Structure 1
Amino acid sequence: MQDWGPVLISWVLFILLSPGLLFQIPGKCRLIEFGKFQTSVVSILVHTILFFALDAIFLVAIGVQINLGSSP
């Protein structure tokens, strides 16, 4: 069977943590800005660190698994 948990979790986190899409940490005027569709090098680094930290927590520490298909 194939384990789709890592693929799905990483894909969702990548979309949600894209800087400037939903939110941006740090923003240009405030600490957190929502829906600006602009980014900076610092916010890219912060979002990258958040992505890898959350991805490691979900995949390694918790061990999320989604198995598709039936067993024989």
Structure 2
Amino acid sequence: MKDLAPTIVAVALFVLLSPGLIFQLPGKHRPIDFMNMKTSMASIVVHTLIYGVLLMLFLVILHFHIYAH
């Protein structure tokens, strides 16, 4: 059996946490901007840290698994 969780979780988090796609922390003019499709270096760093923490939470701490035959 293959564990698909690392691939699925990493891709889903990467898409959902892309700066400017759904939200952006910090925003250009506000602390949080929604769906503005613009980014800055500060928001890239913040989203990278959030991505790393959530990826570690799902894969290392919670031991999230999806098995396929």
TM-score by length of 2: 0.98
- RMSD (Å) for aligned C-alpha atoms: 0.4
1:28 match: 28
Instruction: Quote the residue 2:4 is aligned against.
Output: 4
Q: Which residue of 1 aligns with 2:52?
A: 52
- Equivalent residue pairs, number: 69
* CA distance in 1 between partners of 2:33 and 2:50 (Å): 16
Tell me which structure has the larger Cα radius of gyration. 1
Normalized against structure 1, the TM-score is what? Answer: 0.94
Structure 1 residue 21: Cα displacement: 0.5
Per-residue CA deviations over 1:4-48 (Å, capped at 9, x if unaligned) read 011101110000000011100000110000000000000000000
| Long gaps (5+) in structure 1 | none
Question: In structure 2, what is the equivalent of residue 18 of structure 1?
Answer: 18
Runs of 4+ in 1 over 4 A off after TM superposition: none
| Aligned residue identity for 1:31 | P
Q: Percent identity?
A: 45
